[in-house]
Structure 1
Amino acid sequence: MSDVQPWYKHFWPWFIVVLLLVVVIKSMVAMSIAIDNADSLVSDDYYKEGKAINMDLRKIKQAKNLGMQFLIEVHDHELKISQHGGPEYRAALQVSFIHPTLEDKDFRINATADGNGDFRIGLSEAISGPWNVRLQGFDNSWRIQQRIDIQDDVEYWLN
C-alpha cells in the first residue's frame, strides 16, 4: 500500500497559503498608504465653501468692473507684481499661491508696494509648475485669480 503523506508535506496547500498571505500583506500596505496620504482636496464643509465661492465671484466681478490688471514677472527667487490697469492701488496686496494638488506647498504673502509702485516678493526657493494665483486687495473689495503654469523668466498677465 502507498503511504499517504500529511497535508503539510504537499506543495499545493502551501502554495495557496502563501498566495493568501501575499494578498493580506499587500492590502495592509495599501491601507497604510491610504491612511498616511489622505486626500486634502475633499472638503468636509462643502456647503459653507460653496457660499464663500459666491462671495468670491462678486469680488472677481468688482475687479473686472474696476479694470484691475497686473503683470507678474518671475525671476529665480523673486516675483515682481506691477499694476497696469484700474485705479492705482498702493495698499498692501494679499498674494496667494495655491498648488492644485499639494496643499502643503500653498503660501500666502502680504506684499507692499515699493517706490515705483511694484510689489516684490522674495521666495525661499524657486517655484515652477501649475499654480492658482490669487491677488486680493487688502480691504477684500476685489480679487483677481487665475491659473498659470509658472516658468522662470516669463511674464504672466492677471486680469
Structure 2
Amino acid sequence: MKTSWYREPWAWLVFILPFTAVVAGIATYIIANHEPDTLVVGDYYKKGKSINLEVSKVKMAQKLGMRFALKLDNNELVIKPTGIEKTFPLLNVNFFHPTLAEKDFYIALTPDGNGHFRHQFDHAVTGKWKITISPFEDHWKIHNAIGLPQKDFIDLIPDPTKAQ
C-alpha cells in the first residue's frame, strides 16, 4: 500500500530545514536594518580628508598657543583661556558622546566681564565626552576627551594625536 508524501516524517524534515533557514535569514535582515549603527562611515575617503583637516586645525591651535581650562560643577560650565592674552567674541563648543550620536549637542558661548565663557545646563551632563572648542572663524580647534562633571579646572590643550 502506498502512503502519501505528506504522511512521511522524512519529507517534513527535508522541508523544515530550508524553511527554518529562510525564516532565520529574514529575521536577521530585519534586525540588522531596524536601527543601523551610526558609527559606521559610508564614505571613508571623505572621512579621511576631514580627519586631515581636523589635524591641521589642531596644529594651528598648537602653533597659536591656544589653551583653555574647563570646569563643570553643579551643572555650570566654565571655560577660561589660559596662557593667552587674546579675547574671543564667541567660542563654539561641541559635546560628542562616544557611542550615542543622539546625545551630541552644541553650544555657542560669549565671554563674561572676566573673559570666561559660562553656560548653565538645566540637566546633569555626566560621563565621558569628546569636547571640541573652536572660534567663530573655525580656523583652529582643540579636541579632548574628558569625564564630566569636573569640580576642578582641567587643562584643554591642542594635541594633534587626538584630533579624530
Alignment TM class, shorter chain as reference: 0.7 to 0.9
In 2: Cα distance, 1:82 partner to 1:43 partner: 34
Give the counterpart letter for 2:123 in structure 1: E
CA RMSD of aligned residues (A): 2.6
Q: What corresponds to 2:120 in structure 1? A: 122
- TM-score between the two structures when normalised by the length of structure 1: 0.78
Is residue 76–residue 153 contact of structure 1 (8 Å, CA) maintained in 2? Answer: no
The offset of 1:140, in angstroms, is 1.2
Please tell me whether residue 152 in structure 1 is matched to residue 149 in structure 2.
yes
Shift of 1:20: 8.3
Shift of residue 63 of structure 1? 0.9
Instruction: Look up the match of 1:113.
Output: 111
Q: Which residue matches 1:94?
A: 92
- Selected match of 2:141 from 128, 140, 143: 143
Name the CA distance, whole Å, in 2 between partners of 1:154 and 1:30: 46
1:86-135 per-residue CA deviation (whole Å, 9 max, x = no partner) reads 24232100100111111111111111111111111222321111111100
Quickly say closer, same or farther: Cα 1:23–1:87, change in 2 above 3 A.
farther
1:53 to 45, 51, 54: 51
Other-structure match for 1:68? 66
Q: Give the letter aligned to residue 37 of structure 1.
A: E
Distance 1:31 1:59, change over 3 A: same
Distance 1:111 1:14 in 2: 69
Structure 2's unaligned 5+ residue stretches are 158-164
- How far, CA to CA, are the matches of 1:125 and 1:43 in structure 2? 31
Query: Can you give the 5+ residue segments of structure 1 that lack an aligned partner in the other structure?
Result: 1-5
Say yes or no: does 1:133 pair with 2:128.
no
Q: Given the superposition, is the C-alpha separation of residues 50 and 32 from structure 1 closer, same or farther in structure 2, using an over 3 Å criterion?
A: same
* d(CA) in 2 for partners of 1:30, 1:115: 58
Question: Please, what TM-score do these two structures have when normalized by structure 2?
Answer: 0.76
Distance 1:146 1:80 in 2: 16
Q: CA deviation at 1:49?
A: 2.3
Q: Deviations over 1:26-80 (max 9, x none)?
A: 6655443322221111222221221122122111111111211111111232211
